[in-house]
A = this chain, B = another copy of it.
Amino acid sequence: MSAKQNVAKVGVLGARGKVGSEVCRAVEAAEDLELVARIDADDAIEDLVSAGADAVVDFTHPDVVMDNLEFCVRHGVHAVVGTTGFDDGRLDTLRGWLADSPGTGVLIAPNFSIGAILMMRFAAVAAPFYESVEVVELHHPDKADAPSGTARRTAELIAAARAAAGCGPVPDATSTALDGARGADVAGIRVHGLRIRGLVAHQEVILGGVGETLTIRHDSMDRASFTPGVLTGLRAIAAHPGLTVGLENFLDLG
């Protein structure tokens, strides 16, 4: 591992996947980072060590990610992980490995979009100040699930923030409605999903009180919009040894 605070040499696991290849492009374009290893299913993970990687990015598969991380932690290589499938058991196992390698950091993040993270944070901070709040997510019409995972998570965070602040239920006098007209109920918060050709991934949180509304909207027009979050993770990971869950812990959110 580099003696410097900052990561300089980066390996990418899952380098030939759709996400991994975007990550490779972003690392190569960053002046302060050097891409030293592209590793995919048929490559030997030991190449990370011979290439001198300070840190890896892992967008692979739940079936292989734990083996990858065991190797990395044992060799003191930091890891920034977007692969899914981490339950409490896996997180505990990771903490055990990291206890034996105290200078090494692992970041597990379900969402690397800084914009989505800011939107969720701002929605949760604002929610207790407003009587009403609803979530609208808008995506391309090829999406299979509704509402989106981000919209559900946003509604849950809003509901938790309102409960913590002692807010009552949002007002709604609807007595006659067509089925579905008022959206889905997620933890008491209404969530609406639109499917429109031409859109990519968009979400709006609308909060309202007497005489005013506050709207927080995130528009993601390109899947590459997650890469700044990955680079942020890479730049911060060496300064955060141990296990971190959620990129928001590396962001200065005021």
Contact residues of A with B, CB < 8 Å?
113-115, 118-119, 121-122, 124-126, 128-134, 136, 138, 141-147, 165, 170-186, 190-200, 206-225, 227-228, 251-254
Q: Which residue of B lies closest to A151 (CB)?
A: B181
**Option from B118, B134, B219 in Cβ contact (under 8 Å) with A129:** B118
Per the bound structure, the CA–CA distance linking A196 and B197 in Å amounts to 23
Query: Which of chain B's residues have a CB closer than 8 A to the CB of A211?
Result: 198, 220-225
Alpha-carbon distance A207/B23, docked complex (angstroms): 23
Q: Are B209 and A225 in touch, CB under 8 angstroms?
A: yes
Query: In the docked arrangement, what's the CA distance between A214 and B221, Å?
Result: 11
A131 contacts across to B, CB distance below 8 A: 141, 197
List the B side residues contacting A212 at CB < 8 Å. Answer: 113, 115, 198, 218-222, 225
- Residues of B near A207 (CB, < 8 A) are 196
Given A132-B141, A144-B173, also A198-B224 (CB < 8 A): no
- Report A153 CB to chain B, min CB distance, Å: 13
Number of copies: 4
Which residue from B165, B182, B193 sits with its C-beta under 8 Å from A195? Answer: B182
Instruction: Return chain B residues, CB-CB under 8 Å to A178.
Output: 146-147, 184-186, 191
Complex CA distance for A83 and B30, rounded to whole angstroms: 39
Minimum Cβ distance to chain B for residue A192 (Å): 4
Q: Are B197 and A190 in contact (CB under 8 A)?
A: no
**Distance, CA A141 to CA B215, complexed state (A):** 17
Bound-complex Cα distance A141 to B183 (A): 14
Q: Hey, which chain B residues are within 8 Å of A198, CB to CB?
A: 132, 208-213, 219, 221-222, 225
Q: How far does the alpha carbon of A249 sit from the alpha carbon of B81 in the complex, in Å?
A: 37
Assess whether B215 is in contact with A254, with CB atoms less than 8 Å apart: no
Which one of A125, A128, A165, A251 has the greatest number of beta carbons of chain B within 10 Å? A125
Of the A-B pairs whose beta carbons lie under 8 Å apart in the complex, a sample of 23, sorted by A's number, is A124-B254, A130-B197, A131-B141, A132-B195, A132-B197, A134-B195, A138-B206, A142-B173, A145-B175, A146-B174, A173-B195, A179-B185, A180-B182, A183-B183, A190-B195, A192-B192, A197-B209, A198-B208, A199-B208, A210-B228, A211-B225, A213-B218, A215-B216
